[in-house]
């Protein structure tokens, strides 16, 4: 055929194929599939954009739909993740018999999964994760083509569907995690011979791991964490020759870890913390050339640590903290060339930090706290040569040693240095001044002395300085008033490792030594409990980002500077137990976030400011001075104590003359009385019965002051007295402190019959006469509601006012959300919603039902207490009346805590009901996000929780604000509803905010997903 003939043939073929080409570009979906999709759409509460019920519409063009040209426009993919779909999943979807991919993840679909969904012959990928499906998995499953099945993060229950492998042997990915599956792991999963990833974590599984799981030779990742699995870890794990990651954390595994990991040639990650493993680290782990992360924290492992680091060439993170290891710190760790994070804290080591650590060039984070180490000088000499070290924690070691002053010490990249609670001696060494990148320095609870060096103020990034509980002398360096990070707030401290507890820090409350994460440290200057002298510099007012300023128990003198009112972020100011003089500057009333203020035991005089936060501070904050105030005692009685020097000299002669005259007159009067008694002695005998009533009255008054008044009908305590309370708290021992509020300390007490109570101690005279105090307390006792902490009784003895409350077994919501290490993971969404509903009911009662109505004025997570059933109880309501007797219950001077104060309080010093609602909205955000209202240690833009949440909401990123411990597990739509309620509470206009009655109604309806 010639060239022209060939071109003619091409043209003819092109014309013949053109219709087919055009039809492949403009497919019309199969009518049967269109009908199925219409039923699917009809079960949704929200119409999808672009989808229509018009029969002429081409469903192949709809969002999320993919059709297959060779099969006449049959639907093969339905992919609609993150579309906020809600409603039920239609049983008709099984009619899409050519469907290969179904992805409806991260939506709000609910109810049971259709049986027909598990009988689709061509389905290869099924992803229904992060919805709200409930019920059981069908016993009959026939998905012969399935390759990936993900139904995690729902509310499914019952037994694991181990029978899935009977007809689905080709499945490679199976995730059933974060549901409510319970019981034992039944045999059957071993038949999924192609399985590469199996996730069963965060369920309620019990018993042992069945052996057939260890027959999955293609398995690469196995997640069994957060269950109640127990027994010994089977050596059958050696059969998983392709295993890369194993997570069995937070279970009840016991016995020794099997020594079989040498069979796993690709193994990299072992996460086995929080079990009951004993024995040592198996040789196959300590010699593994592939392991990158080894987390065995919080077990009962013992013996010495041996890691063959010359073989462990990929080890990056090692956490062996909180075990029973003994012997020396392993000296060969530097041979692990990739090792960056090392946590060996809270073991039973002895000896010193090995000299070989001077070659530990990869090390970034090291914690050896509470490890019985000695020779700090050698330790620092060695560790300074770790050129990439950024965080060093050596707390509770080196008892009684001297802090070395070697000028050659130098830590080039160190950001965090903690050598606290070591009883160290010596002074602040010069070498510290060379750590230019230092951001957090804690040398508290030692015996350091000498003057504080001026160069402490030269750190560009330092935001946390704790030198408290030492023996420092001299003036506070004025240079500390120039710390840039506390002036401008450029704080960006990164956590050394995402999962490591940071270090143990001594706490003066009942909890003693606590774990702390870096993110929990606010900008702080802690210099209390020393022997510092001189003034409190006015220039401290420059530190506008400082939150904690603690100078208590020193010898500071001079006035309290008015400039301190410029420390606009200040939340804690403690100047107590010094030698300060003058008055309390009224300008301090402008510190809107100040929640703890203490100037007790100085030489202050004059009137206590009455505006701002000052109305909330207890009398104990001012005692030991010559201060006065309308709500405490009359200022008229104290004016003579502070006359001017000139007036004092002018009246000196007059005072002397008066004293001489009084002495002479008194002597004359005594003589005359003596003569009178002699003359009448024989005529009048003393009648002892005439003295008895006076004695009895005095004893009765003393007795009544010691008795405890109980409002409840406690038959066994008709004569409970102060001695019983003293005995129940071990004489108000510090170890029994369970809380510290704006009105005093709270102690745990156990009465003689074993009943537990909480006793709040209000020091001072509480600003009222005894009769008025009794009346006010008895009025508070009538505030009875299931969601309030009940006031059971009170006692007045000398200057003490004691309030007796019901004891709450589970402490505060703040403790569970922000302090307890595993608190957020244990506080599920159902419990959090229950707490929100209960707190709202308690607040509504105070606002609307209680007579008289009561403003709370300090709603926050630490004032929401939880009983043994996690039922919410509002605390500290109405206590302002005991301190401020002249306020009304309706509108009172503002109070509050940083992060909870509504914006209008910055413009007017009046608290309102809608202010309580705003604070409640902040608590709702805490429950949803698990974050504190303010965290100055977070990156800029995320420190203020409210602003961050509102911004994320405007960007349609609501799902990113939720606490990962609760999001996606079952109730995401309910969480979105509560988020909407919280935002209504946080409206800048008080008029738009809801009432507490509305809050109760909306929150109670959340579970039914009704509209707000």
The residue count of the chain comes to 1012
Q: What is the DSSP letter of 560?
A: P
User: Considering only CA atoms, which of 883, 882, 847, 843 is closest in space to residue 860?
Assistant: 843
Query: Over 406-456, what HEC string results?
Result: CCCCCCCCCCEEECCCCCCEECCCHHHHHCCCCCEEECCCCEEEEECCHHH
Neighbours of 682 (CB within 10 A): 7
The Cα-based distances of 32 to 28, 38, 39, 69 in angstroms read 12, 10, 11, 16
The Cα-based distances of 355 to 359, 380, 404, 410, 602 in angstroms read 8, 10, 17, 17, 50
- The number of angstroms, rounded, from the C-alpha of 97 to the middle of its chain's C-alpha atoms is 50
User: Cα-Cα-Cα-Cα dihedral of 332, 338, 340, 343, to 10°?
Assistant: -50
User: Cα-Cα-Cα-Cα dihedral of 983, 987, 988, 990, to 10°?
Assistant: -140
User: Considering only CA atoms, which of 518, 525, 520 is closest in space to residue 547?
Assistant: 525
Neighbours of 10 (CB within 10 A): 10
Neighbours of 202 (CB within 10 A): 23
- Give the H/E segment covering residue 649: helix 645-650
Q: Are 420 and 506 in contact (CB under 8 A)?
A: yes
**Residue 332 burial class via C-beta count within 10 angstroms: exposed 0-12, middle 13-18, buried 19 and up:** middle
Q: Are 439 and 462 in contact (CB under 8 A)?
A: yes
Preceding amide of 852 cis, omega within 30: yes
969 is in an annotated binding site: no
- Give the H/E segment covering residue 474: strand 471-475
How are beta strands 864-866 and 872-874 bridged, if at all? antiparallel
Q: How far apart are CA 437 and CA 440, in angstroms?
A: 9
Which of 800, 858, 935, 963 is catalytic? The answer is 858
Question: Is residue 963 flagged as an active site residue?
Answer: no
- Rg value, the chain, Cα: 36
The Cα-based distances of 987 to 843, 903, 962, 990, 993 in angstroms read 18, 10, 20, 7, 6
Q: What is the DSSP letter of 6?
A: H
Q: How far apart are CA 928 and CA 836, in angstroms?
A: 10
Q: How far apart are CA 739 and CA 807, in angstroms?
A: 12
Residues 6+ apart with CB under 8 A from 683: none
Annotated binding site for ATP: 760
Active site residues: 858
Which residues belong to the annotated binding site?
760
């Amino acid at each position: 055929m010639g060239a022209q003939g060939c071109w003619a043939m091409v043209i003819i073929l092109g014309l013949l194929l053109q219709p087919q080409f055009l039809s492949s570009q403009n497919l019309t979906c199969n009518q049967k599939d269109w009908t199925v999709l219409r039923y699917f759409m009809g079960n949704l509460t929200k119409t999808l954009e672009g989808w229509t019920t018009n029969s002429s519409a081409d469903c192949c063009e709809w969002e999320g739909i993919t059709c297959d040209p060779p099969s006449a426009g049959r639907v093969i993919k339905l992919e609609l993740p993150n579309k906020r779909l809600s409603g039920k999943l239609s049983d008709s979807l099984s009619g899409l018999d050519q469907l290969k991919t179904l992805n409806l993840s991260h939506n709000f679909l609910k109810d049971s999964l259709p049986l027909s969904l598990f009988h689709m012959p061509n389905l290869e990928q099924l992803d229904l994760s992060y919805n709200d499906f409930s019920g059981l998995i069908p016993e009959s499953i026939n998905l012969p083509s399935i390759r990936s099945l993900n139904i995690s993060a729902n509310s499914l229950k019952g037994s694991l569907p181990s029978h899935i492998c009977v007809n689905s042997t080709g499945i490679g990915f199976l995730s059933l995690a974060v549901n409510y599956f319970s019981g034992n792991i039944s045999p059957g999963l071993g038949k999924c011979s192609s399985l590469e990833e199996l996730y069963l974590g965060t369920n309620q599984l019990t018993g042992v791991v069945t052996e057939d799981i260890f027959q999955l030779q293609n398995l690469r990742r196995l997640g069994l964490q957060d269950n109640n699995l127990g027994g010994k870890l089977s050596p059958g794990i050696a059969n998983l020759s392709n295993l890369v990651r194993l997570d069995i954390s937070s279970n009840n595994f016991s016995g020794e870890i099997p020594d079989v990991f040498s069979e796993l040639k690709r193994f990299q990650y072992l996460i086995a913390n929080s079990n009951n493993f004993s024995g040592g680290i198996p040789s196959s782990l300590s010699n593994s050339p592939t392991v990158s992360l080894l987390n065995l924290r919080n077990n009962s492992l013992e013996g010495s640590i041996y890691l063959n680091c010359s073989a462990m060439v990929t080890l990056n993170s090692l956490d062996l903290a909180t075990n029973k290891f003994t012997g020396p710190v392993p000296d060969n760790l530097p041979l692990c060339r990739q090792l960056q994070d090392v946590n060996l804290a809270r073991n039973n080591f002895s000896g010193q930090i090995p000299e070989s650590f001077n070659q530990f060039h990869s090390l970034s984070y090291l914690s050896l706290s509470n490890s019985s180490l000695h020779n700090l000088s050698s330790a620092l000499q060695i560790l300074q040569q770790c050129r990439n070290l950024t965080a060093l924690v050596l707390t509770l070691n080196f008892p009684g040693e001297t802090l070395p002053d070697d000028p050659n010490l130098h830590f080039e990249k160190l950001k965090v240095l903690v050598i606290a609670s070591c009883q160290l001696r010596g002074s602040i060494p010069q070498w510290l001044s060379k750590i230019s990148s230092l951001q957090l320095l804690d040398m508290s609870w030692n015996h350091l002395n000498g003057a504080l060096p001026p160069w402490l103020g030269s750190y560009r990034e330092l935001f946390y300085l704790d030198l408290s509980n030492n023996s420092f002398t001299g003036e506070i360096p004025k240079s500390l008033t120039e710390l840039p990070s506390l002036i401008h707030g450029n704080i960006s401290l990164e956590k050394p490792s995402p999962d490591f507890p940071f270090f143990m820090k001594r706490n003066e409350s009942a909890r003693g030594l606590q774990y702390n994460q870096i993110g929990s440290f606010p900008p702080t200057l802690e210099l209390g409990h020393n022997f510092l002298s001189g003034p409190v510099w006015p220039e401290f007012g420059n530190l506008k980002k400082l939150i904690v300023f603690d100078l208590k128990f020193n010898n500071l003198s001079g006035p309290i500077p008015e400039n301190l009112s410029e420390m606009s972020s200040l939340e804690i100011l403690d100047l107590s137990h010094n030698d300060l003089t003058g008055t309390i500057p009224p300008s301090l009333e402008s510190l809107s976030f100040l929640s703890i203020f203490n100037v007790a035991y100085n030489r202050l005089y004059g009137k206590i400011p009455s505006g701002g936060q000052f109305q909330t501070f207890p009398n104990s904050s001012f005692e030991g001075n010559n201060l006065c105030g309308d709500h405490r005692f009359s200022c008229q009685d104290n004016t003579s104590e502070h006359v001017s020097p000139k007036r004092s000299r002018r009246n000196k002669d007059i005072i002397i003359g008066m004293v001489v005259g009084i002495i002479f007159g008194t002597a004359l009067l005594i003589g005359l009385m003596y003569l009178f008694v002699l003359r009448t002695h024989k005529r009048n005998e003393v009648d002892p019965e005439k003295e008895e009533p006076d004695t009895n009255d005095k004893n009765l008054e003393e007795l009544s002051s010691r008795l405890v008044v109980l409002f409840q009908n406690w038959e066994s305590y008709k004569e409970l007295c102060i001695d019983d309370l003293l005995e129940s708290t071990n004489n108000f021992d510090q170890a029994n402190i369970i809380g510290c509020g704006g009105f005093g300390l709270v102690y745990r007490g156990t009465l003689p019959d074993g009943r537990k109570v909480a006793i709040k101690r209000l020091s001072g005279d509480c600003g009222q006469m005894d009769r008025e105090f009794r009346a006010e307390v008895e009025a508070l006792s009538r505030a009875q509601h299931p969601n309030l902490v009940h006031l059971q009784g009170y006692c007045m003895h000398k200057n003490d006012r004691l309030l007796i409350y019901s004891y709450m077994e589970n402490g505060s919501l703040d403790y569970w959300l922000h302090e307890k290490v595993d608190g957020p993971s244990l506080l599920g969404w159902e419990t959090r919603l229950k707490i929100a509903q209960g707190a709202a009911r308690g607040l509504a009662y105070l606002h609307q039902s209680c007579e008289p109505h009561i403003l709370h004025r300090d709603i926050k997570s630490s004032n929401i207490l939880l009983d043994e059933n996690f039922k919410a109880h509002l605390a500290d309501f109405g206590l302002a009346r005991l301190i401020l007797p002249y306020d009304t219950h309706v509108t009172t001077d503002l109070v509050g805590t940083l992060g909870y104060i509504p914006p209008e309080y910055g413009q007017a010093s009046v608290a309102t009901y809608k202010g309580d609602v705003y604070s409640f909205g902040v608590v709702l955000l805490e429950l949803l996000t698990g974050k504190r209202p303010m965290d100055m240690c977070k990156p800029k833009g995320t420190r203020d929780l409210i602003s961050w949440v509102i911004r994320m909401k405007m960007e349609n990123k609501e799902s990113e604000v939720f606490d990962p411990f609760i999001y996606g597990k079952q109730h995401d739509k309910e969480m979105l509803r509560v988020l909407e309620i919280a935002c209504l509470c946080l409206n800048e206009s008080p008029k738009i905010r809801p009432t507490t009655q509305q809050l109760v109604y909306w929150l109670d309806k959340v579970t039914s997903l009704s509209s707000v």
